[in-house]
Amino acid sequence: AWKGEGEQDFWWCIEKCVAEDGWKPNLILDDGGDATHFMLKYHPAVFKKIVGIVEESVTGVHRLYQLSKTGKLCVPAMNVNDSVTKQKFDNLYSCRESILDGLKRTTDVMFGGKSVSVCGYGEVGKGCAAALKGMGAIVTVTEIDPICALQACMDGFRVQTIEDIADTADVFITCTGNRNVITRKHMDKMKNGAVVANMGHSNTEIEVSSLKTKDLVWEKVRSQVDHIIWQDGKRIVLLAEGRLLNYSCSSVPSFVLSVTACTQALALIEMFNAPEGRYKQDVYLLPKKMDEYVASLHLPQFNAHLTELSDDQAKYLGLQKSGPFKPAYYRY
């Protein structure tokens, strides 16, 4: 990819990757499913012969499950999006840091004492809420899922609706994966200077389109920062036009990329080396042992000393000494 790359360029790149002359891909490493679907559609003969697909993203995984359901997935695919280390690093640990970074780089807001509404208490919301609380903000959580809501309570956050808090919070962060979580109606109630940002999914969470009306004035105060001005002079500070704050206004630490890339590489090697028949025409989760292996490769960075099971202990627990150490449903 390059700065200023257009839609046509994008597909030209994909084309070069999947079907350049004299080049026979045997594995697909995809992030979003575009390469997969391009090959399936335009080069079905090549597609049928590949060993497998490794897919990174929520969207791409979703598309794979749909292919599988409709019987069109004629090769094995591996969902690495839901591996433990990938999930925790991409969501909880990375966002715990980028929420602070993204807000500071764009607004220089002081966190101490600020009233912040974190919408959604999944991994991303948990990371954002913990970081902001750690810096002295007073965080309120909104949730639709009673289990996550109860977790928020036990972690010391008040659970309210966006309506409850719209006119008092200083900062609003969406982390739901849902759409129209913050609407024009909510923003009409917000106080002057309220900051609105999205850490969740794509650009759907904040109803930005509702702000593009004649009665509101947009003023770009700097890159990624717009003031939306109401007729009475009230200003809302909208970050990244509602796109992802963590990608638009912060950076992803190289350590997170290392975890993700390592997971992808191991999944590709696994698919390539797997004995005939281990993977069928279906979507698989990364084997837990490889998930554990990715983690173990990143421990030396922290000078961490892992404990080894004795033979006696391994027998007592009914485990192999080399893992995997947990049942499939373990929640970490």
Please report how close the Cβ of residue 180 comes to its own copies at its closest, in angstroms: 7
Binning the chain into helix, strand and coil, the percentages to the nearest 5 are 45, 15, 40
Please report how close the Cβ of residue 293 comes to its own copies at its closest, in angstroms: 8
Closer residue to its own copies in complex, CB, 104/227: 104
Kindly state whether residue 310 participates in binding its own copies, applying the rule CB under 8 A.
yes
Closer residue to its own copies in complex, CB, 44/156: 156
Kindly state whether residue 229 participates in binding its own copies, applying the rule CB under 8 A.
no
Q: Which of 89, 166, 91 is nearest to 123 (CA)?
A: 91
Residues 114-173 that bind its own copies (CB under 8 A): 115, 131, 133-138, 142-162, 164, 168
Q: Which of 165, 170, 187, 157 is nearest to 110 (CA)?
A: 170
Which stretch, 9-17, 29-37, 48-56, 95-103, contacts its own copies (CB under 8 A)? 95-103
In this structure, what token pair is assigned to residue 317?
């627990």
- Return the DSSP state at 193: T
Q: Which of 193, 190, 243, 249 is nearest to 222 (CA)?
A: 249
Kindly state whether residue 287 participates in binding its own copies, applying the rule CB under 8 A.
no
Would you say 167 and 142 are in contact if contact means Cβ atoms under 8 Å apart?
no
Kindly state whether residue 284 participates in binding its own copies, applying the rule CB under 8 A.
no
Would you say 270 and 290 are in contact if contact means Cβ atoms under 8 Å apart?
yes
Alpha helices in 20-115 (DSSP H): 34-42, 44-49, 58-69, 84-87, 94-107
Kindly state whether residue 265 participates in binding its own copies, applying the rule CB under 8 A.
no
Contacts of 21 (CB under 8 A, 6+ apart): none
Please report how close the Cβ of residue 138 comes to its own copies at its closest, in angstroms: 6
- Return the DSSP state at 37: H
Residues 52-91 that bind its own copies (CB under 8 A): 82, 84-85, 87-88
Closer residue to its own copies in complex, CB, 43/288: 288
Please report how close the Cβ of residue 273 comes to its own copies at its closest, in angstroms: 21
Kindly state whether residue 227 participates in binding its own copies, applying the rule CB under 8 A.
no
Closer residue to its own copies in complex, CB, 12/330: 330
Closer residue to its own copies in complex, CB, 25/102: 102
Among 10, 49, 69, 113, indicate the residue that binds its own copies (CB under 8 A).
113
- What CA dihedral angle connects 269, 273, 275 and 278, to 10 degrees? 10
Please report how close the Cβ of residue 299 comes to its own copies at its closest, in angstroms: 6
Closer residue to its own copies in complex, CB, 18/165: 165
Please report how close the Cβ of residue 34 comes to its own copies at its closest, in angstroms: 21
What is the C-alpha to C-alpha distance for residues 14 and 127, in angstroms, rounded to an integer?
Answer: 34
Would you say 267 and 79 are in contact if contact means Cβ atoms under 8 Å apart?
no
Please report how close the Cβ of residue 19 comes to its own copies at its closest, in angstroms: 33
Residues 177-206 that bind its own copies (CB under 8 A): 177-180, 204
Kindly state whether residue 282 participates in binding its own copies, applying the rule CB under 8 A.
no
Contacts of 161 (CB under 8 A, 6+ apart): 142
Beta strands 77-79; 115-119: pairing state? unpaired
Please report how close the Cβ of residue 84 comes to its own copies at its closest, in angstroms: 5
